[in-house]
Chain A
Amino acid sequence: MLLLHGTADESITPYNTVSYYERLRARYGLAGLTSFIRFYLVPGYGHYSGIFDARWDPLDVLDAWVSTGRAPKALVADDANQGSRRSRPLCAYPAWPKYVGKGDPNAAASFTFTD
C-alpha cells in the first residue's frame, strides 16, 4: 500500500492519516508494517493541488513494487504548478525532507531524509 497526505490539505487534515498510520504501527509493529506499506507526508501539498502540487506517478511506483517485490526507494515528487521546477524527495513517514544548507533549494538533490 502506498499512502500519501499533504501537510497543507485544506479539506482533510493530514493528522487523520497520521493517526491511522500510528494505529497500524501499534498493531503490526514497524517491521511488519513497512513490509507492506509506505506512508509519505508531503510538505506543502493540499487536496489535489497546493503550493507544492506533488506528482509522483503512484500507479507506476505501485506496479514496480508489486512486480519486482522491491519496495520503493528514493522517490521524488515534482511540483505541477505552472512554471515551477521544484522537486522534493518523498520521505517515508516519520522522515521529512530537510534542506542540506547549500545547493538549489528547488532541487530534490539538495534535501536529505530526516527523522
Chain B
Amino acid sequence: MVQLGGRFFDGKLVTGLGATVGARPGTPLPLAQGYVTLGSDSGHRGKKTVGDATFALNEEALRNSVGDQIKKVNDVAFALIHRRCERAPIHSYFVGGSQGGHEALIAAQLFGKDFDGVVSVFPAYNFTLLQLGSNAVAKAGYADGGSGWLSEGKLWQDVAAARDSRRIHHSVQYS
C-alpha cells in the first residue's frame, strides 16, 4: 500500500487516485499497479482563504497537520485491508512532493515502524524558516535601489566567460 501526501493548510483531500510525483507519463498509476492507495485531508476541513491557519486553534487539528494525520490514516488503512483481505499489506510506503515530501520525512522520522520506505521530493520542511529565507532573498534583491539584482544579460555574459575560461562544452552548458 502507498500513502500519498501533499495537502496542508487548505485541508483538501488527497484521494490517492492520481500519479505519484516523478512518475513517467506512461507509467501506470499506483492503483493500476495493484497498490492500495490512500491519502488524507491533513486532519482538518479546508477554508477557501489561502494560508488560513485558524484550524490550528484546535489542538487535535494542529497535531494532525504536523504529523498525526499520517499515522491515523495509515492505521485506518491497515485495519480496512485486514478486514477486506484478511492479511497485512506486503509493504507500506509514503510518497510525496513539496509538503508531501515534508510529510514523507515526518513519516520516516516519527512513524518509521509504519513504513518500509518513503520518497521525499523537494520537501517543504522547516517551513517557517524557509519562508523567512525567501524574505531575506527579496530584501537583498530590493536593497540599495535594486543594485544587487543580477540582470539576465549580465548573467549570460558571466556564464559565457566561465564557459570560455573552462572550455566547457557549449551545448551542455546552455542546455
Which residues of A are at the interface with B, using a C-beta cutoff of 8 A?
1-6, 9, 11-14, 16-17, 20, 47-48, 54-60, 62-63, 65-67, 78, 80, 86, 99, 101, 105-106
Contact = CB atoms under 8 A, between A and B. Distances in A.
Contact of B91 (A14, A58, A63, A86): A63
B57 interface: no
B11 interface: no
Contacts of A60: 27
B42 interface: no
B119 A99 contact: no
Contact of A66 (B35, B91, B98): B91
B2 A59 contact: yes
Nearest to A5: B122
Contact of A59 (B30, B124, B169, B171): B30
Given A12-B130, A59-B23, A99-B169, A2 B119 contact: yes
B93 interface: yes
5 contacts: A12-B124, A48-B21, A48-B97, A99-B169, A105-B169
B24 A11 contact: no
A86 B2 CA distance: 29
A67 B126 CA distance: 31
**B: contact size bracket:** 35 or more
Given A11-B98, A62-B93, A17 B122 contact: yes
Given A48-B21, A56-B22, A101-B169, A62 B119 contact: yes
A77 B31 CA distance: 23
A15 B107 CA distance: 22
Nearest to A46: B122
A6 B117 CA distance: 21
Given A11-B98, A58-B22, A58-B95, A105 B122 contact: no
Contacts of A99: 169, 172
A75 to B, nearest CB: 11
Interface in B46-78: none
A55 to B, nearest CB: 4
A67 B24 contact: no
A57 B24 contact: yes
B20 A13 contact: no
B120 A2 contact: yes
A9 B27 contact: no
Nearest to A111: B172
Nearest to A79: B175
Contact of B120 (A1, A56, A66, A105): A1
A6 B122 contact: yes
Given A59-B95, A80-B25, A47 B117 contact: no
A55 B26 CA distance: 11
